[in-house]
């Protein structure tokens, strides 16, 4: 018996970051948008817990119990008092350490898959609770679509999206560590007054209208200066995408993937082509948004 779950990547169309909290996390106003780049996670009954991964970035994925998919299986099994004896296979298409929540996506997918395989019948609320324990971005991967995340990003309110957005993603040569980017954010902000993070009504309105031009004008990411500080060459990628006809470009989450919003599918192709030719990135991908959350296939 096995179960496969398909799960999307995300881009943040707004990421407002507050000052570091006593627990080291940062309060966020995080406007998540799920994009049509997917991992597929298959869980199969096995003698013991085992993780395998295939895909272009597979060598960078940890296969031990630090993998969020393994942690998700262990968390659900622990709550039910059963053994997490499953083989988890991740067919990975989402860039690793890229700021697109690929690891979080695998956690949400493995949780849903184990719930189905074991017939645990967990409620949606319980699955969301377990996701929030696993990581700040994991609940959103379960629900998909678009949502405002507050707290450390795990408290979600679903958002309306009135149309399809066409994105191009430029993958960088090496990943960035999310904690390192937050630490750089703290360092850059030392001695300054960091305001409470709040969602931008302009961002929510542009999403609700499905208006790419309006959204492009208000995209923002407070982690971008920190990501650029750690990886200055990302400025060249951003410039290349904008010059090629993107409405706007920004660092996706903690980076180093850069995301470009385009007016239509054809422009997306042109921007992707120009980014590849610019030599400022490792690879490019086109994806539409919004995408559905984790789904059994």
Among 136, 221, 237, 252, the residue binding ligand C5P under the rule CB under 6 A is 136
Give yes or no for residue 152 binding ligand C5P (CB under 6 A): yes
CB of 139 to ligand C5P, least distance (A): 10
What one-character DSSP code corresponds to residue 169?
A: E
Please give the helix or strand (H or E) that residue 230 lies within, else none: helix 224-230
Determine, following the binding rule CB under 6 A, whether residue 28 of this chain makes contact with ligand C5P.
Answer: yes
CB of 182 to ligand C5P, least distance (A): 4
**Nearest CB to ligand C5P, comparing residues 25 and 218:** 25
Closer CB to ligand C5P, 186 or 202, in the complex: 186
Name the residue nearer to ligand C5P (CB basis): 178 or 237: 178
3-state secondary structure labels for all residues of 84-141: CCEEEEEECCCCCCCCCCHHHHHHHHHHHHHHHHHCCCCCHHHHHHHHHHHCCCHHHH
Cα–Cα distance measured from residue 179 to residue 193, given in angstroms and rounded to the nearest whole number: 21
Interaction between residue 153 and ligand C5P (CB under 6 A): yes
- Binding to ligand C5P by CB under 6 A, coded x per residue (else -) over 164-203, reads --------------xx--x---------------------
Can you tell me whether residue 286 is helix, strand or coil? strand
Q: Is 135 in the site for ligand C5P (CB under 6 A)?
A: yes
Q: Is 123 exposed, middle or buried (CB count within 10 Å of its CB: 0-12, 13-18, 19+)?
A: exposed
d(CA 220, CA 251): 9
Does residue 209 carry a catalytic annotation?
no
State yes or no: residue 32 binds ligand C5P (CB under 6 A): no
From candidates 4, 19, 25, 200, binder to ligand C5P by CB under 6 A:
25
Number of H helices, E strands in the chain: 10, 12
Compute the least distance from the CB of residue 187 to ligand C5P, in Å: 13
Q: How many CA atoms lie within 13 A of 217 on its CB side?
A: 8
CA distance 164 to 291: 9
The answer to whether 137 contacts ligand C5P (rule: CB under 6 A) is yes
Candidates 6, 10, 26, 166: give the one binding ligand C5P (CB under 6 A). 26
Nearest Cα to 285, choosing from 246, 263, 249, 258?
258
The question of whether 10 is a catalytic residue gets the answer yes
Would you name the residues annotated as active-site residues? Answer: 10, 137
The residue ranges that bind ligand C5P (CB under 6 A) are: 25-26, 28, 135-137, 152-153, 178-179, 182
């Amino acid at each position: 018996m096995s179960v496969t779950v398909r799960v999307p990547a995300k881009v943040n169309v707004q990421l407002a970051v507050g000052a570091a909290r006593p627990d080291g996390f940062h309060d966020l106003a995080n406007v998540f948008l799920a994009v049509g780049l997917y991992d597929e996670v298959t869980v199969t009954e096995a003698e013991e817990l085992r993780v395998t991964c295939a895909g272009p970035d597979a060598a960078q994925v940890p296969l031990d119990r630090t993998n969020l998919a393994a942690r998700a299986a262990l968390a659900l099994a622990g709550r039910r008092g059963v053994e997490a004896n499953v083989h988890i296979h991740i067919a990975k298409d989402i860039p690793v350490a890229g700021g697109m929540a690929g690891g979080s996506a695998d956690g949400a997918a493995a949780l849903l898959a184990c719930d189905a395989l074991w017939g645990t019948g967990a409620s949606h609320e319980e699955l969301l609770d377990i996701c929030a324990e696993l990581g700040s971005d994991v609940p959103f991967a379960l629900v998909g679509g678009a949502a405002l995340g507050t707290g450390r990003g795990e408290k979600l309110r679903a958002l309306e999206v009135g149309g399809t957005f066409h994105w191009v993603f430029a993958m960088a040569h090496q990943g960035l560590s999310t904690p390192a980017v937050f630490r750089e954010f703290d360092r850059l902000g030392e001695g300054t007054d960091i305001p409470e993070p709040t969602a931008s009504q302009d961002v929510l309105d542009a999403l609700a209208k499905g208006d790419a031009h309006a959204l492009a004008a208000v995209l923002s990411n407070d982690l971008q200066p920190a990501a650029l500080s750690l990886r200055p060459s990302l400025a060249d990628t951003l410039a290349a995408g904008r010059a090629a006809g993107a409405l706007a470009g920004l660092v996706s989450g903690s980076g180093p993937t850069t995301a470009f919003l385009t007016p239509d599918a054809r422009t997306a192709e042109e921007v992707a082509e120009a980014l590849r030719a610019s030599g400022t990135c490792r690879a490019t991908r086109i994806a539409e948004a919004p995408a559905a959350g984790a789904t059994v296939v």
